[in-house]
Structure 1
Amino acid sequence: MALSAEATCAIYVRISQDRSGEELGVERQQRECQELATRLGLHVVRVYVDNDISATSGARRPEFEEMLMDRPRSVIAWHQDRLLRLTSDLEKVIQLEIPVHMVTAGSLDLSTPSGRAVARTVAAWSQFETEQKALRQRASNRQAAANGHWQFSLRPFGYERVNGDIIVLDSEAKLIRDGYRCVLRGDSYRSVAKRWNRLIERWDTPGFRPVMGGTWASSRVQRLLENSHYAGVVTYQGEPVELPPGKAPQWTPLITKDTWRAFRELKLARKTKRSWAVSPKHLLSGLLECGVCGGTLYSHAQDQTTRKGAADAGKARLPVLDAAGRRVKHTTYVCVDKHCVSIRADYVEALVGEVISLKLSDPRVVQALRTTDDSAPLEAEIADLHKRRDDLTDMIGDGLIPRERAREKLNEIAGRLQSALSRMERLRSDSPITDLMLSDSIPERWSALPVLARRRAIVRLGLKLTINAADKGKRTIDLATGQVHSERAWAMRRVAWNWDGDGGGGG
């Protein structure tokens, strides 16, 4: 015998979070809802399933919305909070004016005023409970962050949680450090992704693949490297959390704070107008301040000019041409906002090299920098290992230790020394300041550093340079003294510099 339309129903099941992806929660709900339908003598015409979707997050529930459009004769849910948790959802169901049956909470007849009143009351308290739970959860997460904890459900690349502890996965950690090194030397996210995908093709081990599988794309690499937790920076809702004294991150950082600071300056800051390029060509573009309007100076290619033959051509100056007849240009830094000032790049860049060398030649400055630098203990470790190796060699020569035992000791020391030297090399590549301080000649090393590394050093040391306006009158004559200056000396008179406001100097 065919059932009437009134004897039909729809089942709705939902689970907020399906960690395993196996939909076991919705299967249990569906089975018990089916059993209730049988007891009520209702025929199930369709089952609507929203898996891993929270009803309180505001996210759209596609199956729930489709059920409303289908207008079933009645609905069965495991519990009212599976069907709806927000009062706005209840009003949508009320408009259907149908009975709603729950496995664990009885039935509601939404076709009557009393049934609707009960449903609204239950929904209001469900929403209250949900909001209170969210407040408690946020407070708990905020407290956990303040204690240095890292909250995550899906494990981050480079780490895994074992018995409550966050453990470093060495193979993935090496890949992350490689990514930062590549980006800081000027490589794009796309080139890093290609580099890592080649490793997957060659070795095909889990240590090279993303957590969710597949291959690397530039967007995946970017999201990975923008995670501040790799530098030991605790965050809550995307904002850094200042830890109280005595508290530290509850995991081992994979990169240094200097590496993270450099990455932020060179990559994250690029989202703002006129921020640094990935591979800057000009040392001070974007780092100079206009002394007239406070704007920023950027690089600009200008023609070199000469007065030779200019008068015969009826001009003040003529462009300089090379042997092939092309115009010779030089780089100038120009105030782009109001064109207040400009200065030859080679003049001011030479000054920067001089003041950086002067700064790092001051023992007091070096000592202050060493308090936040990891190279000092590493230097001491390397020196100690060298001494132990030399002492052991002397003991072998004097016959004070058997050669077999000495060979074992030497191999052990050689391994530890190689490891320490590798760490020192990584430290120097991560920090141009450390690299400069450890060099035999700061001026020579400064000249050899890439533009990107020199810019990082300028920012790290807090060097600020302001280009002031030139005096009126003839460009190379001091109107007060009548002294004649070279063009470079005249230009350098306009440069003022200081270290984050701690003292200053001039050209």
Structure 2
Amino acid sequence: MTKRQGDGPVRAVIYVRISKDLTGEQLGVARQEEECRELCARLGFKVGEVFSDNDISAARGKVRPGFEALLASRPEAVVCWHTDRLVRVTKDLERVIALGVNVHAARAGHLDLSTPAGRAVARTVTAWATYEGEQKAERQALSNLQAAKAGKPYTAGIRPFGYSEDHVTIVPAEAEAIRAGASMILSGDSLSAVARTWTEAGLRSPRSIAAGANAWTLRGVKNVLISPRYIGLRTYRGEVMSEAQWSAILDDSTHYALVSILSNPDRFSGGPRTGRTATTLLSGIALCGVCGETVSGRGYRGTKIYGCRQTHTRTPRDVADQRAERTTLARMARPDFLPTVLTVHAGGGDADTARLHAEVKSVRERLDGLALAYAEGAINLSQMTAGSQALRASLENAESRLSGVTGLPPLDPATGIAGLLEGWTGTPLPVKRSWVQFCTIVTLMPANGKHARNMTPSDHVSIDWRDLDSSERDGQAV
């Protein structure tokens, strides 16, 4: 029985839906609406509202805005292209039955929901639709798994950044941007910096284009940089299945270094920013005089300062840098320094020890970061295992180059200490940091109630000389 209002024609609402609209042009729902209107004309129904759910499945529990609006519209009859467009699961059918109206389908006939027999038929039809949907999903999942194991690309979705519409051919400009973005992260830049660089270069994520966005998001950049796709691996539901049938854009060690850095929970929890290259003289070197933690550079009320995570100290950066550099230079100028250095340096060769030590330390931190990311659930076991293998290979290579080197910072054997002192102003920051750490222990002190303008450099900074033979403090504060 169909509800009527007075003696006029039945006011029917039309519902149309398709699960996937790959083009976004809504042609499928338009065709369904056309046939539904033709059915309404044949039945003598007056067409009311048209409700549409384009590109939304009815079998996966997702909210369908059009369907919800239909239920709230209190229709006299519902017209759809096929009943499985309207309902695919029993719980949705029961909500339609509760409306007390009949359903007419252009391709599946009439569902009489006014009688027990009609409702039973409707429930049976829906049960079989649910069964077929589940069977289809299983068949599709098996097909996708087999394709993944064969390394074939999944071409049903939006193309990945860096590859063309066939998901295999590399797009040169995008591939170069991915490599440059990886280099930026490994050099200490942020995801924001990479996102700005890609956006300003006029590059767009295919997914963001589909969504109407004009700029890269941090999540979008991260998803690209840590995806195994870019080292030529095919994944299925997050697990690596096989080598892919497309060329890699990044090498393995770069990829797993990125995974370690960008998936490490410490990066987002106030801990050390893993993989970041120091841009200040004393970050990671100077110690807080209260908690003993290393400090980092930051800003405070317009002033550049050093401070620990608990902000026990807010030492002006220029004061601390100047005092640390002067003390280091004073140590190197002492008469006993050159003979000691030459003794320690004997047999060390001219290798760039600071760079090698930094490389070894960086790789070890990335290994730790990879393990921590796995423990936190940010990456899976296959990613951690493969990443550990790649990073351990890099570590062995770096350690082999470091063998026989004493750990002394870079020193030109021709100009010696005198050349280092003379050219100190133009010395690269990493080399300066190495010598400051080699020669001194820098401790930054709390204000203890004093105003900064009333504090002397000695109030701010305490420096001890190291014993050059053991690299331990000798207790001589300066």
Task: Calculate the TM-score normalised by the size of structure 2.
Answer: 0.58
Q: In 1, Cα distance between the equivalents of 2:31 and 2:201?
A: 43
Q: Work out whether residues 15 and 80 of structure 2, in 8 Å CA contact, stay in contact via their aligned partners in 1.
A: yes
Shift of 1:19: 1.1
Shift of 1:215: 2.8
Matched, 1:155 2:159: yes
Greater RCO, CA 8 A, separation 6+: 2
Q: Aligned partner of 1:301: which letter? A: C
Matched, 1:167 2:169: yes
Quick one: which of 241, 247, 251 aligns to 1:256? Answer: 251
Q: In 1, Cα distance between the equivalents of 2:272 and 2:250?
A: 22
Q: Aligned partner of 1:224: which letter? A: V
Q: Aligned partner of 1:180: which letter? A: A
Quick one: which of 15, 18, 34 aligns to 1:15? Answer: 18
Shift of 1:60: 0.6
Change in 2 beyond 3 A, CA 1:235/1:120: same
Q: Aligned partner of 2:238: which letter? A: G
C-alpha RMSD over aligned residues: 4.3
Matched, 1:301 2:301: no
Counterpart residue number, 2:439: none
Task: Calculate the TM-score normalised by the size of structure 1.
Answer: 0.55
Counterpart residue number, 2:27: 24
Shift of 1:276: 4.7
Q: Work out whether residues 187 and 278 of structure 1, in 8 Å CA contact, stay in contact via their aligned partners in 2.
A: no
Helix, strand or coil for the counterpart of 1:22?
Answer: coil
Q: In 1, Cα distance between the equivalents of 2:141 and 2:409?
A: 48
Counterpart residue number, 2:108: 105
Q: Aligned partner of 2:224: which letter? A: L
Q: In 2, Cα distance between the equivalents of 1:298 and 1:115?
A: 79
Shift of 1:189: 1.2
Divergent runs of 4+, >3 A? 2-6, 270-276, 278-282, 297-303, 324-330, 431-439, 441-451, 486-492
Change in 2 beyond 3 A, CA 1:446/1:74: farther
Matched, 1:72 2:75: yes
Counterpart residue number, 1:426: none
Q: Work out whether residues 164 and 171 of structure 2, in 8 Å CA contact, stay in contact via their aligned partners in 1.
A: yes
Shift of 1:259: 0.3
Shift of 1:156: 0.6
Quick one: which of 267, 285, 308 aligns to 2:262? Answer: 267
Change in 2 beyond 3 A, CA 1:325/1:260: closer
Change in 2 beyond 3 A, CA 1:83/1:240: same
Change in 2 beyond 3 A, CA 1:63/1:184: same
Q: Work out whether residues 12 and 83 of structure 1, in 8 Å CA contact, stay in contact via their aligned partners in 2.
A: yes
Helix, strand or coil for the counterpart of 2:201?
Answer: helix
Helix, strand or coil for the counterpart of 2:264?
Answer: helix
Shift of 1:135: 1.2
Matched, 1:50 2:53: yes
Q: Work out whether residues 301 and 329 of structure 1, in 8 Å CA contact, stay in contact via their aligned partners in 2.
A: no
Q: In 2, Cα distance between the equivalents of 1:442 and 1:74?
A: 85
Helix, strand or coil for the counterpart of 2:244?
Answer: coil
Q: In 2, Cα distance between the equivalents of 1:145 and 1:437?
A: 38
Quick one: which of 115, 118, 122 aligns to 2:118? Answer: 115
Helix, strand or coil for the counterpart of 1:267?
Answer: helix
Gaps of 5+ in 1: 201-207, 283-296, 306-323, 331-349, 361-430, 455-485, 493-507
Q: In 1, Cα distance between the equivalents of 2:90 and 2:160?
A: 36
Superposed counterparts of 1:102-501, under 5 Å = 102-152=105-155, 153-162=157-166, 166-200=168-202, 208-211=203-206, 212-213=208-209, 214-241=214-241, 243=242, 248-270=243-265, 276-278=272-274, 280=276, 300-302=287-289, 489=470
Per-residue CA shift, 1:162-199, capped at 9, x if unaligned? 4xx71111111111111101111011111122223332
Change in 2 beyond 3 A, CA 1:81/1:158: same
Per-residue CA shift, 1:361-381, capped at 9, x if unaligned? xxxxxxxxxxxxxxxxxxxxx
Q: Work out whether residues 269 and 275 of structure 1, in 8 Å CA contact, stay in contact via their aligned partners in 2.
A: no
Per-residue CA shift, 1:411-464, capped at 9, x if unaligned? xxxxxxxxxxxxxxxxxxxx797789789x97799869969xx9xxxxxxxxxx
Shift of 1:217: 3.5
Helix, strand or coil for the counterpart of 2:58?
Answer: coil
Q: Percent identity?
A: 38
Per-residue CA shift, 1:324-381, capped at 9, x if unaligned? 8999899xxxxxxxxxxxxxxxxxxx9xx99x98xx9xxxxxxxxxxxxxxxxxxxxx
Shift of 1:107: 0.3
Q: In 1, Cα distance between the equivalents of 2:172 and 2:396?
A: 27
Shift of 1:139: 1.5
Change in 2 beyond 3 A, CA 1:24/1:88: same
Q: Aligned partner of 2:172: which letter? A: D
Change in 2 beyond 3 A, CA 1:299/1:264: farther
Q: In 1, Cα distance between the equivalents of 2:408 and 2:52?
A: 65
Counterpart residue number, 1:385: none
Change in 2 beyond 3 A, CA 1:491/1:62: same
Counterpart residue number, 1:393: none
Helix, strand or coil for the counterpart of 1:159?
Answer: coil
Matched, 1:60 2:63: yes
Q: In 2, Cα distance between the equivalents of 1:449 and 1:434?
A: 25
Shift of 1:71: 1.6
Counterpart residue number, 1:33: 36
Q: Work out whether residues 84 and 90 of structure 1, in 8 Å CA contact, stay in contact via their aligned partners in 2.
A: yes
Q: In 1, Cα distance between the equivalents of 2:320 and 2:82?
A: 85
Q: Aligned partner of 2:174: which letter? A: E
Helix, strand or coil for the counterpart of 1:240?
Answer: strand
Shift of 1:63: 1.2
Shift of 1:228: 2.1
Change in 2 beyond 3 A, CA 1:265/1:107: same
Q: In 1, Cα distance between the equivalents of 2:20 and 2:262?
A: 34
Change in 2 beyond 3 A, CA 1:3/1:28: farther
Per-residue CA shift, 1:117-176, capped at 9, x if unaligned? 0000000010011011111111211221111123241001110144xx711111111111
Change in 2 beyond 3 A, CA 1:34/1:443: farther
Helix, strand or coil for the counterpart of 1:234?
Answer: strand
Q: Work out whether residues 269 and 276 of structure 1, in 8 Å CA contact, stay in contact via their aligned partners in 2.
A: no
Helix, strand or coil for the counterpart of 1:168?
Answer: coil
Shift of 1:301: 3.4
Shift of 1:101: 0.6
Q: Work out whether residues 270 and 276 of structure 1, in 8 Å CA contact, stay in contact via their aligned partners in 2.
A: no
Helix, strand or coil for the counterpart of 1:71?
Answer: coil
Q: In 1, Cα distance between the equivalents of 2:201 and 2:254?
A: 24
